[in-house]
Amino acid sequence: MKYNIKISGVHYKELERHLFPGDGKEAVSIALCGRNFDQDGNNFMLVHQIINIPYEYCAIREPNKVEWSTEILSSYLEKVLNKGLAIIKIHCHPGGYEQFSDVDDDSDIELFDSIYGWTNNNLPHASMIMMPNGNLKARIVTDKLTFLNVDKISIIGDDLIFFNNNVKTFNSDSYNLRTKQAFGEGTVNILNNLRVGVIGCSGTGSPVIEQLARLGVGNLILIDPDEVEFKNLNRILNTTREDAELKRKKIDVLKKAIDKIGMETRVDVFPVNIYDDKEVINRIATCDIIFGCVDSIDGRHILNLIATFYLVSYFDIGVKLVADGMGNVSQICGSIHVLQPGGSSLRSRGVYNSEELRAAGLYRTNPESYKNLKKEGYVANVNIDSPAVISVNMFAASIAVNEFLARIHMFRYDNNAKFAITRFSNVDSYIQYEEDGESDLYLKKFVGRGEMRPLLNMPEL
């Protein structure tokens, strides 16, 4: 069993503010966490809610010790029990000591002995310490009151920060030399320990996949239900006329190409639509990062939900070419949206609205009904097939991958928060950047909620 803790950037900043108020004394917070598990033996605790223990509730607050009343937790126990949540105790070490002390051992045993008595099950809980530099160290406290290492702590915010106990190091073959020279061995090892999902493996998806594979991402999850067609050959990398003739699945062609590169990237493929397979939703949910390369509104919507519920960084790529039908192009533009749990959503950013989402869902589930309602003017038009050009798709894909790299290797002079949205137009000759907007109030309730019924709070699933 491998244990993972994921924290949104919003919650991480909240913890920093409370745990380090500037007085040099220890402080305490409690995190209520959603849960998730995968077929590879990973156990995820997803921070859903932070309960900051008021300083005045602490009987003792000293630079190396804190004692507090656990009565404040009693009002949250019903929620923990009913929703199967995990509890993480988080306290600070103002002096920067990066290990659990003997005092921490005694405190954790006392607290979690009570918690296991309250919850009456053996699902694991955890304890974590934060240092002044923002570093985190965590351990599982089992129902036997023993301690186990947490393998990975992930911060999913404007920056993507990973604390790994069991790091798989990239080998030193010469094909990796140039990436090391540009980003350093630490970043290369981060890449090699990431699981990245790409949903949609056509015009923008295939160049994203090509870049991620050659950067040395350790595990790629590729999702696309479609076969290679002749019309795809002008924009899907590594496809051939034979692939179209034999109607090979796009993901199988791309997996074969990655395997032939020989950079040891594990590739898992799923030739399905997200809405049709709960296993695929679970696989996306266990990713560190996902790239959405889909055209559909409801596809974008469910990816935004997954990223929120399971604390995944989501990069959405959209490209649009407007042709006049007479051989001319009136607009070539695109946008790359970087979304983090607890921030704004594609819907709140105006990428689509609720009516368009309803229409897209109807188009997917009942095309005939959609056709009739569209004819009568009751639903929005979502069946739009726009032209595609490989150079524009690759331009957008490169921007998205570089945004991803900027968040794991902070090479910019400016804060990554300023680059939540990138918009470009090759006709108007601009690239512009925007910060994140107001939080999506609906999604904010489900940050880190993890597994629940119905899945993603969507009755149709």
Averaged over 367-383, what is the pLDDT?
A: 66
pLDDT at 173 over 60: no
Amino acid identity for residue 393 in this structure: N
pLDDT at 12 over 90: yes
pLDDT at 391 over 80: yes
Quick one: three-class SS letters along 34-94? EEEECCCCEEEEEEEEEEECCHHHEEEEECCEEEECHHHHHHHHHHHHHHCCEEEEEEECC
**pLDDT tens string 51-87:** 999 999 999 999 999 999 888 898 898 889 899 999 9
Q: What angle do CA 102, 106, 109 make, to 5 degrees?
A: 135
Averaged over 240-256, what is the pLDDT?
A: 97
pLDDT of residue 217: 96
pLDDT of residue 461: 85
Q: How confident is the model at residue 37 (pLDDT cuts 50, 70, 90)?
A: very high
Averaged over 380-384, what is the pLDDT?
A: 59
pLDDT of residue 366: 83
Quote the percentage of the chain above a pLDDT of 70: 92
pLDDT of residue 119: 84
State how far Cα 355 lies from the chain centre: 26
CA distance 421 to 435: 7
Which of 70, 71, 142, 85 has its CA nearest to residue 119? 85
CA distance 128 to 40: 24
pLDDT at 386 over 80: no
Question: In b/e form, how buried is each residue of 383-407, taking b as 16+ CB within 10 angstroms?
Answer: eeeeebbbebbbbbbebbbebbbbb
pLDDT at 182 over 80: no
Q: Exposed/middle/buried for 42, CB within 10 Å: 0-12, 13-18, 19+?
A: middle
Residues 6+ away with beta carbon under 8 Å from 67: 58, 59, 60, 107
Higher pLDDT, 201 or 366: 201
**pLDDT tens string 198-208:** 999 999 999 99
pLDDT at 260 over 80: yes
**pLDDT tens string 205-239:** 999 999 999 999 999 999 999 999 999 999 999 99
